[in-house]
Amino acid sequence: MCNMTFEETGGENSVERMESVAQALEEVLSSALPQGCITVGVYEAAKSLNVDPDNVVLCLLATDDEEDVALQIHFTLIQAFCCENDINILRVGNMRRLAEIQPGGEPMDVHCVLVTNPQSALWKNPALSKVNRFCRDCRCLDQWVPLINLPDR
Question: Any idea what DSSP says for residue 119?
Answer: S
For the stretch 125-135, pLDDT in tens is 788 889 999 99
For the stretch 2-37, pLDDT in tens is 444 434 445 445 778 888 999 999 888 888 888 888
Q: What is the chain's percent helix, strand, coil content, to nearest 5?
A: 50, 15, 35
Topology classification of domain 35-147:
60s Ribosomal Protein L30; Chain: A; (3.30.1330)
The Cα-based distances of 81 to 76, 85, 152 in angstroms read 9, 6, 31
State the pLDDT at residue 56.
93
Tell me how far apart the alpha carbons of residues 41 and 43 are, in angstroms, rounded to a whole number. 6
